[in-house]
Amino acid sequence: MGKTIGSLIINALALWVVSQIVSGFEIVDLASLVLGTVILAIVNTFLKPVLVFLSLPVSLVTFGLFIFVINALLLELVAYFVPGFTLANFWPTAIVTAVLLTIVSTFLNYFVKKA
For 44-100, the pLDDT digits (tens) are 999 999 999 999 999 999 999 999 999 999 999 999 999 999 999 999 999 999 999
Rounded Cα distance between 9 and 5, Å, is 6
User: How many other CB atoms sit within 10 Å of the CB of residue 102?
Assistant: 15
pTM: 0.94
- pLDDT given for residue 1 in this prediction: 66
Provide CB contacts within 8 A for 8, sequence distance 6+.
37, 38, 41
Cα 78 off chain centre by: 9
pLDDT at 32 over 80: yes
Kindly report the average pLDDT of the chain as a whole number: 96
pLDDT for residue 2: 76
